[in-house]
Amino acid sequence: MENILQEKITPFNNWQLTKFTFDKENYYLFVEIDSGITIVTKKIDKDEFQDTLNDVTNSFEYITPQQREAIFNTNSDSGFHLDYQPSINSPITKYVMDYVKNSSQDLNQKVDFNDKSIDAQDKAAILSIILMNLSRDHMMRTIETIAFKTNQAFPIKTKHPRTNAKYQNLSPKFIDPNHWEKYVNQDISKNSKVIAEIKKNNEKIIDQYLKNAQMDFNEFTANPREQLKDFVANCNNKLNTFS
């Protein structure tokens, strides 16, 4: 097991690197330790890593385009530096590696990776996104963590709804986040009660999002790249109705 660190550790660029084999091919798994973002590449190469990272971050439509760009830029502005750190051991890496080792057949059922219409970059992007969404609970934790850490590192002031936009009215099963508005821009790191309340409410928001998105990872059949785009867009559109 190897580990990767950028020269300067900032949010979203502290990566653990592990080599793995899937479908008789060797890959590299990058797991961002703090957020859980997962990137798969065929080789340790800055350009390939950034191409896949760009595909993956563009699927995060529950954060703003500016925030997605900020995450990408965090990993492109500085040099790409490898450094062995034996102390780094992300539980997400272990979870993903255990899945690949024990459930590779299930992974093959999600996408026909032998489809010749899928090029290497598409395959890396699809693998990356699937490995971030292996289960409902894992997906929920990942979405919550990415959204929370993004809004901490790259806060965006909320805009008023567009007057010409169409919105779907859903019966929320969670508390309006404005309930905690007084804590905005305050340090609540030591307020365990408020942190627990917000975390529990976030779980309810994401849970309702997942239920309404009606996610089905067995949808990847013909033209998986296009289906992946439609799949992600549909899920994110559902999430946006709760914003």
pLDDT value at residue 230: 54
Min mean pLDDT across 9-18, 138-147, 169-178, 183-192 is at 169-178
Q: Is the pLDDT of residue 197 over 80?
A: yes
Domain ranges of the chain: 2-240
Of 8, 28, 12, the residue nearest 20 (C-alpha): 28
Helices (H), 154-216: 192-213
Min mean pLDDT across 12-16, 72-76, 111-115, 235-239 is at 235-239
Q: pLDDT of 62-97, one tens digit each?
A: 888 999 999 999 888 665 556 666 666 788 888 888
Residues with Cβ < 8 Å from 113, sequence gap 6 or more? Answer: 23, 123
pTM above 0.85, yes or no: no
Q: Answer yes or no: are the C-beta atoms of 160 and 167 closer than 8 Å.
A: no
For 191-212, what is the mean pLDDT? 78
Amino acid letter for position 205: I
Q: Is the pLDDT of residue 1 over 60?
A: no
The C-alpha atoms of residue 30 and residue 145 are separated, in whole angstroms, by: 17
Q: pLDDT of 91-138, one tens digit each?
A: 888 888 898 888 777 777 777 777 777 788 888 888 898 898 888 788
Average pLDDT of the chain?
A: 76
pLDDT value at residue 169: 61
Label the pairing between strands 25-32 and 2-5.
unpaired
Q: Is the pLDDT of residue 237 over 50?
A: no
**Which one is predicted more confidently, 136 or 233?**
136
pLDDT value at residue 5: 43
Q: Which of 55-64, 111-120, 180-189, 209-218 has the highest mean pLDDT?
A: 55-64
158 pLDDT tier (thresholds 50, 70, 90): low
Number of residues that this document lists for the chain: 243
Residues with Cβ < 8 Å from 54, sequence gap 6 or more? Answer: 72
Of 74, 103, 60, 82, the residue nearest 13 (C-alpha): 74
Q: Is the pLDDT of residue 28 over 90?
A: yes
